[in-house]
């Protein structure tokens, strides 16, 4: 297995207190683990999170970034590495324990640049501004397509599928947000067959 020494702080910074914390965790495993693996879960989205787990040599693929510290090695999943660029991992000591703090500015992704296509910009707004609000009702919305005349065709799911308030949500919330932030859009359309919604947040009138 080939390993690349991780230049600090090119990818991430691991504070001395965090290193001591990880070394204690490794010692508690009694030699059963070969290192600690760091990976990104749902990277580039509002629900992105960092996952830390003990790992064995057989679980590594060989293309991980590796940081060798006293008492342990930290392995960063190759696909996750870009999301941890500039990250800082710290352990805040406290009476009776402590708290691990991971600050990763790129973990949840960055807004599309000015050259990004319209579909990418719509998806970013849906993921970062609209779906977090719909999630409180168990709903979600995704982009089906961008038509030739720059209309965004959406599809609702979860609690929004068949919900009696979806038309209000579409017109007063989603449409206003998308059209105000992406003036190149000409319309917002709903492609969902709401008659087949299995668990709507609010039943539609007959």
Find out whether 204 and 161 touch, Cβ atoms under 8 Å: no
Q: Which pLDDT tens digits describe the chain residue by residue (206 residues)?
A: 344 444 444 689 999 999 999 999 999 998 889 999 999 998 887 778 999 999 998 999 888 999 999 999 999 988 899 899 999 999 998 877 789 999 998 888 777 887 889 999 999 888 878 887 887 777 888 999 999 999 999 998 887 776 666 777 777 788 999 999 999 999 999 888 877 655 555 554 54
List strand residue ranges (DSSP E) for 6-114, in order.
12-14, 35-41, 49-55, 65-69, 72-76, 87-94, 97-103
pLDDT of residue 6: 43
Structural domain that includes position 73: 4-103
My answer on whether 67 and 140 are in the same domain is no
User: What is the value of pTM for the model shown?
Assistant: 0.57
My answer on whether 136 and 182 are in the same domain is yes
CATH number at residue 129: 3.30.300.130
My answer on whether 99 and 124 are in the same domain is no
CA–CA dist 137, 164 (Å, integer)? 12
Q: How many domains does the chain have?
A: 2
């Amino acid at each position: 297995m080939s390993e690349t020494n991780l230049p600090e702080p090119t990818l991430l910074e691991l504070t001395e207190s965090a290193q001591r914390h990880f070394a204690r965790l490794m010692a508690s495993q009694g030699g059963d683990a070969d290192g600690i693996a760091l990976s990104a879960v749902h990277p580039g989205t509002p629900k992105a999170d960092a996952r830390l787990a003990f790992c064995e040599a057989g679980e590594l693929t060989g293309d991980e970034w590796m940081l060798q510290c006293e008492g342990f090695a930290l392995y960063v999943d190759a696909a996750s590495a870009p999301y941890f660029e500039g990250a800082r991992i710290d352990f805040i000591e406290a009476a009776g324990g402590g708290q691990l703090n991971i600050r990763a500015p790129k973990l949840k992704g960055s807004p599309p640049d000015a050259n990004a296509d319209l579909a990418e910009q719509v998806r970013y707004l849906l993921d970062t501004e609209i779906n977090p609000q719909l999630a409180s009702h168990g709903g979600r919305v995704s982009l089906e397509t961008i038509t030739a005349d720059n209309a965004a065709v959406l599809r609702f799911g979860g609690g929004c599928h068949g919900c009696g308030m979806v038309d209000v949500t579409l017109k007063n919330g989603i449409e206003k947000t998308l059209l105000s932030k992406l003036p190149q859009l000409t319309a917002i359309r709903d492609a969902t067959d709401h008659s087949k919604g299995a668990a709507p947040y609010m039943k539609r009138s007959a």
